[in-house]
Amino acid sequence: MHHLIEAVPLGQHTLRVMAEDADGFLDPTPASHTWTVVAPPQTTIVTGPADPTDSTDATLTFNSDRAGSTFECALDGGAFAPCTSPVTYTGLAVGWHNVAVRAIDPDGHIDPTPAATAGPSTRRARRRRP
């Protein structure tokens, strides 16, 4: 028999399971399992490139509210890959770019709402008229 517990709030929880025999007698020593639901880490982008910019390079710094977290970054909707702060992207094409950053805490909990920036954006350098 399987049971599914959904929308369990943050905090400590204990599940106790008690058997009942055919005569209706209950197990005097029920099995139990205790666990704690913790909030996922939160990621914050601290600094990013100016918007707009003439540079095709962009550097971002970021952190997490959970000490010891590692990070993954994704550029322009690509796959998340390990990264560290600061992260620098070089040789970006002219146009809008999006960077998403998510923290992974030491227990393996992943930020379900990555921090994102709607840049950097780059524009073509203007030529000076003679």
Residue 124 has a pLDDT of: 52
Residue 128 has a pLDDT of: 47
Residue 130 has a pLDDT of: 52
C-alpha 16: how far from chain center: 32
The sign of the dihedral angle between the CA atoms of 122, 103, 6, 79 is positive
Tell me the domain boundaries of the chain: 43-122
Calculate ∠ Cα 104-101-97, nearest 5°: 165
Residue 70 has a pLDDT of: 98
Q: Which CATH number fits domain 43-122: 3.30.70.360, 3.40.50.720, 3.30.710.10, 2.60.40.10?
A: 2.60.40.10
Residue carrying the six token digits 């939160």: 42
DSSP secondary structure string, 27-71? PSS-EEEEEEE-PPP-EEEEE---SSBS-S-EEEEEEESSTT-EE
Alpha-carbon distance 110 to 66, whole Å?
11
Tens-of-pLDDT digits for all 130 residues of the chain?
Answer: 677 888 889 999 999 999 999 999 999 999 999 999 999 999 999 999 887 788 889 999 999 999 999 999 999 999 999 999 999 999 998 888 899 999 999 999 999 999 998 754 555 544 445 5
Region label for 68, one of left (φ > 0), alpha (ψ between -120 and 50) or beta (otherwise): left
